[in-house]
Structure 1
Amino acid sequence: MPDHGDMTDSYVRVRGAREHNLRQVDVDIPRDALVAFTGVSGSGKSSLAFGTLYAEAQRRYFESVAPYARRLIHQVGAPKVEDITGLPPAVALEQRRSAPTSRSSLGTVTTLSNTLRMLFSRAGDYPEGAAERLDSDAFSPNTTAGACPECHGLGTVHHVTEASLVPDPALSLRDGAIAAWPGAWQGKNLRDILATLGHDIDRPWRELPQADREWILFTDEQPVVTVHPVREAGRIQRPYKGQYMSARRYVLHTFADSKSETLRKRVQRFMVSDDCPVCDGRRLRPEALAVTFEGRDIAELAGLPLAALAETLRPAAARTDDADVAAPLARDLVTRIEILTELGLGYLSMDRPAPTLSPGELQRLRLATQLRSGLFGVVYVLDEPSAGLHPADTRALLTVLHRLKDAGNSLFVVEHDMDLVRRADWLVDVGPRAGEHGGRVLHSGPVAGLAQVAESATRRFLFDSGEYPRHREPREPTGLLRLEGITLHNLRALDAEFPLGVFTAVTGVSGSGKSTLVTRVLADAVTGHLGAGPEDDEETGARPTAELAAAKGLAAVDRLVRVDQKPIGRTPRSNLATYTGLFDTVRKVFAATDAARARGYTAGRFSFNVTGGRCETCQGEGFVAVELLFLPGTYAPCTACHGARYNPGTLEITYRDRTIADVLAMTVDTAADFLADLPAAARSLRTLQDVGLGYLRLGQPATELSGGEAQRIKLATELQRTRRGHTLYLLDEPTTGLHPADTEVLLRQLHGLVDAGHTVVVVEHDMGVVAGADHVIDLGPGGGAAGGRIVAAGTPAEVAAAAGSRTAPYLARRRARPEPS
């Protein structure tokens, strides 16, 4: 039996790793080093770093934890590996979204808010006459002691108005004037109840008496009447008893009590949100807001950018009086904030809601917390820490990583940024391709050694002089879309021009306003022009809209497509096949077989989401939850269907000797050959291959897909559709999570869209992508309040030569490289 605690040599030695697509991998990796794991998407690098090394370290740690405590901690499961020796304890910093509650903030994620509350509690300036000092909980809006009694710590109060409930007063009640009511109510319930009560439902809303309008919208009465519906289209409807509910009562009741997040978001569109009149949006009780430090209350300090907050606290931190209770607390805050500023996060504020932070920002916040933890002898396993970072910020990240290493730790980093990989001490390259064509360690050694590995997809981008092919001459625009007087977040009275018919890259350091300009302002302007309202934020509901003085050139855009990295589904029932519509074709093919027709099976029989064809033991999920006494629950393959998801009757139907479960288990590449004679399926599969997703299984759950994979699935779904008119494609950092080889594949598709006459606008940090664009808009010069301005705009050559642009030197350096051979 090997000694798992043996640390006599300086290597972690892995033998027989078989997690996911790994093929009996044996590899030796040095400790106390910065080790980069590279390879194309789906090659197996994450399976080695996270699925094997981190999972085994966690498993060993949990062996020392009491069984009851294990149940309370999320576990990744035991890896498929024969043996690992020399493995220290591990900490994983993955790319993942934060908790969905808007009460979680940057301050709570980093625990900075705890120290700030203690500072106010123990060293704050209390108003004259205050009876006693408040406990630190009194400065938290998430506690009963601190939350404003009016808004319960939310900072906003919600109400409705006639304008919010009736957006078009020219409509009659019959035509749906009260937009807040559900569609079914409009048709046969509330409308008919109002008619029975004597209200004119065919008169334009604005012509109804004011007293009637107010009663219909705002009454708390709920009269019950017998309704005799008017005959419509020759149909006779029977009388029924109906109870009236005003529009206000319905909206507020649904928002407060509904368990359906979809319903709550729907009614929120008809509500008006204002700052709480008691706390002015500051979320706290008046007693807490009366306490100040350096002349500001806690809400004001929490709302400052971190860099400004550090400057405000620096005088207190510099005090040397041992009796001064503020000095050590202020020093702790300043020191921790300086680390965050080094990582390019100085533009964020402590009260920034956690759901609005990007996965890259969250990972850097956790990285800064680890730097202050004082741990040593630990393996930190990081998932693409450079994600969302401008090249100017990557240098600071590298400095922080080396500080962790110098403190006596090992860093295992899954990374695609070749500049960061070049600075690693050791390189583990996995491949050569994805899925079943990957899973081998092609090189484990010093970075320079990869130059001799011809089959590595990473080698060309790491050592050759260039990366992505670039357009020699930028395309000429076919038109211009101009937005004037933009005001939102850190954009102040900004004018921006987007040329049409070309590929535009929007650049700038983190927090400079790129995503606000593209995915909020530009997207909402075009959406409004096309007749739809702005989308709400998925996590936080309604969001503020931009002030816009004018928008010109929108008439040239016929369609808008937004391709983001949000999941294609939140449960294992959603997968690649269902999202793209491919599964509809597959189910119809199985239903059309002679055996299925003889049994009367329809396409619905071959869905694992409905009763009939699915396995009822696992409800079509393929696995069942296993509850263990004093241990965390786990999942096991269903004993009835053995993971197939269908019942025996359904699995007796085959198409070309394969069951529906067999098809779902196929990769895109395999299915492309198997379904080549079905035009609809072949087109869908071909577009998935074109964006580099041939390695994914058709039935792979959405919960297993990365943000980059989800984004490419969405793009492939769009590419397979027939495109008419002029389409504007907006993408937010589309290369996040992509190996340079995958980025090449993606860029071919995006440039193909432009060649077909459409417009593509991307928010991007990859200088290789920016160098190949037709037009560049660079925001900055800094983040937060120091950003929000267009510092340069023009061709890549023009922006590369722009003075005052933090992007310019990196773009110039990238353009100076010759084309790859």
Structure 2
Amino acid sequence: MQNYIYVRGARENNLKNINVDVPRDQMVVFTGVSGSGKSSLAFDTLYAEGQKRYVESLSAYARQFLGQNTTPDVDSIEGLSPAVAIEQKTTSRNPRSTVGTMTEIYDYLRLLWARAGTPHCPNCKIEIGRQSVDEIVEHIFQLPQGAKFAVLAPIIRGQKGEHREVFDQARKEGFARVRVNGRHYTLSDEIEIDKGQKHTIDIVVDRLTVRDEDAQRLADSIELALSLSGDIVTIYEYENMQETSFSQSYSCSKCGTSLNELSPRLFSFNHQLGACQTCHGLGIQLKPEDYEHLKNSQFETYGELTTLSCPDCQGDRLSAQPLAVTVGGMNIAEFCKLSINDAIDAINNLELRGAKSTIAKPITDEIITRLLFMKKVGLTYLTLSRVSSTLSGGESQRIRLASQIGSGLAGVLYVLDEPSIGLHQRDHSLLLAALRDLRDQGNSLLIVEHDEETIRQADWIVDIGPGAGKHGGELVAQGTLKMIMNEPNSLTGQYLSGKKRIRVPENRRSGNGNTLGIIGATENSLKGIDVHIPLGTLTCVTGVSGSGKSSLINEILYKKLAAQLNRAQTRPGKHKEIVGAEFLNKVIHIDQSPIGRSPRSNPATYTGLFDLIRSHYALTSEAKVRGYEARRFSFNVKGGRCEACAGDGVMKIRMHFLPDVFVPCEVCKGKRFNRETLEINYKGKNIADVLAMTAEEAVTFFENMPKIRKRIEAICKVGLGYVQLGQASTTLSGGEAQRVKLAAELLKPATGKTLYVMDEPTTGLHVDDVNQLINIMHELVDSGNTVIVIEHSMEVIKNADYIIDLGPEGGINGGELVCVGSPEEVSRCETSHTGRFLKKVLEES
């Protein structure tokens, strides 16, 4: 087998006909500044070609189910293995998808609860068992010799009437006694009871004394009683006046409630048998029209509907019966609320006896194996009930990584996209160990990554650049860490060697004297903490993954202020109060959610730039002569757009036994506008040419148009000069989308009283881009504003004025305030994981 994957003439996107030799069965990191072409080489070339070859090996019938596979623009690739992509964009928005279902652990839990569960009555809470007649008789003869007892079989429960026909039937069957409302009667007598009252009537299987020779007669009597009354019998011991009830099926001996047979589907919130009927297994409070909207919208608006739990199941998603079945004293919903660490302990300490122990052993082995893989990639703080749409890209990717480690495959080409995202340095060693395990199984790992520690641990590094967009796409350097550090043309190498570095500020801001306080925060794992944030500072909220950072800032602080200052319809997380909001007049949340869910959305439309450009084209002399208004230059409106493709620029060709094919529109050639609109030019460029420009190119093109140039410069300022103005929002990474939002906010007038909330803004950024982002943050604070950043990057943390460190661990072991203060003060805190790593960084700086 070849030792390398040979790539020749790669030209996908901005790649400039490069040749790369990638060693097989190694951990290879692709690095370079944002937009340099790393993903184009790793995903759009190597992975895409691997997928194409796999699909081509299948039958035409099978290919129709696998979707579209494009052919990458490359001359040749040799030594390629079957490829698997583990990307960030794999999180399902389906509200029925949870960590448990993603990992298939929940499937095994359903089997465990069905085969080894102990059912209880949902109403009476008493344990329900099922016994045969022989087992009932055996129980009776375990009573002391000479004990006197009666077998009671209920035939009426809480029903009004005289019930004469019931007594007549029992008399005909040969029974001598009945018990009515706890009082015994002889059937040979006339029994009169009040027909207006509710009665409970039991047949009495004669008074008996325990003797072995009575066994068969007793069994026959019980069979007769069951045939008349149903499947429940009660053993009444006269000497100690105690009753013990038995059932031949899953029926409550106290209230008579009949339960379904235990099966895995009974514990599925996706099946009508197990799902809560009020919320349809979603766990949230829904109106009927909400549920219909959810079904029809493919779950895009799920998170916007409500944060209230279903009033019936309290968010557990299941109906009363499956929730009344326990294993180890817990129902399946309670188990799924445990952290991964606690779930491992619960399974390991599970005590089952007899046949249940034998049945459960192979099931629990599978569960433990999968839970340990989750632990291996640093996700011990997650719960199995966590909805997958709330996972970060890094968490989702690490879950998939855990499942791949467990698959045991060898000879596979794994392509990963920044698996370190959202991971604290404390847990980073776990991720690297997991990656090495995957490599040591005989697989090749291609990792697109900016994290310094991951780069240093790589067997081989491929550095793409030197810049972004048209300034990138070249092979700057490849080799070992030492080789990259010694390459003078490698920007990555210069940061790795220390020749370049992000500096620590000479002075820390103390703020403007006012503070913003979060009092009594108890959302998720937060333990009633009080947090005070100095205004007029750059504040970093830190802590290990799952420590409560997002709950504190995104769920409580931002949502409360958004409702109070922006009049947003948001419901904040649980807390007592927010103090100091009067010192602010606006709050802005800059996260990594898409800037639009349609390809029609792009950086130009999101920032308002396209409105100005369209208005400018409408003012050209030729447009005025033709009477064209600004709307003429929109691809969303009839009149100026190409109607053949409705402004999409591409046509979808449906194939019968092949995937759908997208081809440029034959009428507009992919330009999205009709011929008449494209005849309007400014400086020799039509509106489609402008959308195809990068922001960097557009700055020069519109240099004499101050309003337009200002908006384009904002895009360039956040490091997106390489992005095309008309690039579809669906093709932007989370980090790129976040920076487009930041650019839009930079265009708004600074009030000096604005709070900016950013959630891991360094995602997808090279260290040189991080330096640029930090400068923007400082600029915002210098204007009098306050910036709060949830971040793991030590480069950002060491630049903070103030740090709020949560922990000490994740999940139920987190949610506490570990320490606060300047980076220097936090670095001296012995109980802070963040402080331990920060101390080393500050010493190096």
Same fold (TM over 0.5): yes
Residue in 1 that maps onto 2:78: 85
Q: 1:796-815 residue pairs with structure 2 within 5 A?
A: 796-815=823-842
Moved more, 298-307 or 86-95: 298-307
Measure, in 2, the Cα distance between the counterparts of 1:499 and 1:439: 44
1:119 partnered with 2:247: no
Q: 1:249-398 residue pairs with structure 2 within 5 A?
A: 253=289, 256=292, 273=308, 275-277=310-312, 279-316=313-350, 324-398=358-432
Moved more, 462-471 or 594-603: 462-471
Amino acid across the alignment from 1:147: A
For 2:333, what is the secondary structure of its paired residue?
A: helix
1:482 partnered with 2:525: no
Q: Compared with structure 1, are the counterparts of its residues 800 and 18 closer, same or farther at alpha carbon in structure 2 (3 Å cutoff)?
A: same
Q: Compared with structure 1, are the counterparts of its residues 815 and 272 closer, same or farther at alpha carbon in structure 2 (3 Å cutoff)?
A: closer
Measure, in 2, the Cα distance between the counterparts of 1:740 and 1:46: 17
Shift of 1:548: 2.8
Measure, in 2, the Cα distance between the counterparts of 1:704 and 1:114: 34
Residue in 1 that maps onto 2:725: 698
Measure, in 2, the Cα distance between the counterparts of 1:310 and 1:317: 14
1:141 partnered with 2:141: no
Q: Compared with structure 1, are the counterparts of its residues 289 and 322 closer, same or farther at alpha carbon in structure 2 (3 Å cutoff)?
A: closer
Residue in 2 that maps onto 1:219: none
Shift of 1:694: 0.5
Q: Compared with structure 1, are the counterparts of its residues 257 and 345 closer, same or farther at alpha carbon in structure 2 (3 Å cutoff)?
A: closer
1:152 partnered with 2:280: yes
Amino acid across the alignment from 1:297: N
1:587 partnered with 2:623: no
Residue in 2 that maps onto 1:71: 64
For 1:152, what is the secondary structure of its paired residue?
A: coil
Q: 1:445-456 residue pairs with structure 2 within 5 A?
A: 445-456=479-490
Measure, in 1, the Cα distance between the counterparts of 2:480 and 2:302: 55
Residue in 1 that maps onto 2:50: 57
1:456-475 deviation digits (Å, cap 9, x = unpaired): 22112211166312212211
The answer to whether the 8 A contact 1:317-1:331 is kept is no
Q: Find the partner of 1:11 among 4, 29, 32.
A: 4
For 1:95, what is the secondary structure of its paired residue?
A: coil
Amino acid across the alignment from 1:19: E
For 2:720, what is the secondary structure of its paired residue?
A: coil
Moved more, 733-742 or 522-531: 522-531
The answer to whether the 8 A contact 2:758-2:790 is kept is yes
Q: Find the partner of 1:511 among 546, 550, 555.
A: 546
Runs of 5+ in structure 2 lacking a partner? 120-127, 130-246, 251-259
Measure, in 1, the Cα distance between the counterparts of 2:606 and 2:553: 25
For 2:654, what is the secondary structure of its paired residue?
A: strand
Residue in 1 that maps onto 2:713: 686
The answer to whether the 8 A contact 2:94-2:299 is kept is no
1:22-44 deviation digits (Å, cap 9, x = unpaired): 01111101011000000011100
Residue in 2 that maps onto 1:46: 39
For 1:632, what is the secondary structure of its paired residue?
A: coil
Residue in 1 that maps onto 2:559: 524
Alignment TM-score, normalising by the size of structure 2: 0.81
The answer to whether the 8 A contact 1:667-1:696 is kept is yes
Measure, in 2, the Cα distance between the counterparts of 1:268 and 1:393: 32
Measure, in 1, the Cα distance between the counterparts of 2:68 and 2:484: 34
Runs of 5+ in structure 1 lacking a partner? 1-6, 160-251, 536-543
Measure, in 1, the Cα distance between the counterparts of 2:499 and 2:353: 53
Alignment TM-score, normalising by the size of structure 1: 0.83
Identity over the aligned pairs, expressed in percent? 44
Measure, in 1, the Cα distance between the counterparts of 2:286 and 2:354: 48
Measure, in 1, the Cα distance between the counterparts of 2:14 and 2:809: 42
Q: Find the partner of 2:702 among 659, 675, 682.
A: 675
The answer to whether the 8 A contact 1:122-1:133 is kept is no
Shift of 1:768: 1.2
1:527-571 deviation digits (Å, cap 9, x = unpaired): 233151453xxxxxxxx6333323222111111111111101111
For 1:382, what is the secondary structure of its paired residue?
A: strand
Measure, in 1, the Cα distance between the counterparts of 2:350 and 2:308: 38
* Two-structure CA RMSD over aligned residues (Å): 2.3
Q: Compared with structure 1, are the counterparts of its residues 281 and 554 closer, same or farther at alpha carbon in structure 2 (3 Å cutoff)?
A: closer
Residue in 1 that maps onto 2:99: 106
Residue in 1 that maps onto 2:507: 473
Measure, in 1, the Cα distance between the counterparts of 2:66 and 2:76: 24
Measure, in 2, the Cα distance between the counterparts of 1:521 and 1:14: 50
The answer to whether the 8 A contact 1:465-1:817 is kept is no
Moved more, 31-40 or 295-304: 295-304
Measure, in 1, the Cα distance between the counterparts of 2:296 and 2:407: 40
Shift of 1:435: 0.6
1:748-773 deviation digits (Å, cap 9, x = unpaired): 11111111111111000001110111
Moved more, 719-728 or 389-398: 719-728
Measure, in 2, the Cα distance between the counterparts of 1:759 and 1:473: 17
Shift of 1:257: 5.2
Measure, in 1, the Cα distance between the counterparts of 2:794 and 2:386: 29
Structure with greater Cα Rg: 2
For 1:807, what is the secondary structure of its paired residue?
A: helix
Amino acid across the alignment from 1:138: L
For 1:411, what is the secondary structure of its paired residue?
A: strand
Q: Find the partner of 1:411 among 445, 456, 468.
A: 445
1:287-337 deviation digits (Å, cap 9, x = unpaired): 322322111111111121111111010134999999712112112211211
Shift of 1:154: 2.5
Shift of 1:744: 0.8
The answer to whether the 8 A contact 1:317-1:326 is kept is no
For 2:358, what is the secondary structure of its paired residue?
A: coil
Shift of 1:454: 1.7
The answer to whether the 8 A contact 1:158-1:274 is kept is no
How many residue pairs match? The answer is 709
Measure, in 2, the Cα distance between the counterparts of 1:545 and 1:318: 43
Measure, in 2, the Cα distance between the counterparts of 1:371 and 1:318: 30
1:65-84 deviation digits (Å, cap 9, x = unpaired): 22232222244411111110
For 1:488, what is the secondary structure of its paired residue?
A: coil
1:354-373 deviation digits (Å, cap 9, x = unpaired): 11111111000000000000
Residue in 2 that maps onto 1:240: none
For 1:686, what is the secondary structure of its paired residue?
A: helix
Q: Compared with structure 1, are the counterparts of its residues 59 and 262 closer, same or farther at alpha carbon in structure 2 (3 Å cutoff)?
A: closer
Amino acid across the alignment from 1:812: K
Q: Compared with structure 1, are the counterparts of its residues 753 and 403 closer, same or farther at alpha carbon in structure 2 (3 Å cutoff)?
A: same
The answer to whether the 8 A contact 1:17-1:23 is kept is yes
Measure, in 1, the Cα distance between the counterparts of 2:289 and 2:813: 42
Residue in 1 that maps onto 2:693: 666
Measure, in 1, the Cα distance between the counterparts of 2:115 and 2:701: 70
The answer to whether the 8 A contact 2:597-2:730 is kept is yes
For 1:458, what is the secondary structure of its paired residue?
A: helix
Amino acid across the alignment from 2:832: S
Q: Find the partner of 1:439 among 468, 473, 479.
A: 473
Measure, in 1, the Cα distance between the counterparts of 2:679 and 2:766: 41
Shift of 1:264: 11
Q: Find the partner of 1:721 among 748, 761, 766.
A: 748
Measure, in 2, the Cα distance between the counterparts of 1:273 and 1:519: 17
Moved more, 127-136 or 395-404: 127-136
Q: Compared with structure 1, are the counterparts of its residues 285 and 553 closer, same or farther at alpha carbon in structure 2 (3 Å cutoff)?
A: closer
Residue in 1 that maps onto 2:682: 655
Measure, in 2, the Cα distance between the counterparts of 1:281 and 1:705: 34
Q: Compared with structure 1, are the counterparts of its residues 260 and 380 closer, same or farther at alpha carbon in structure 2 (3 Å cutoff)?
A: closer
The answer to whether the 8 A contact 1:254-1:263 is kept is no
Amino acid across the alignment from 1:67: A
Q: 1:214-253 residue pairs with structure 2 within 5 A?
A: 253=289
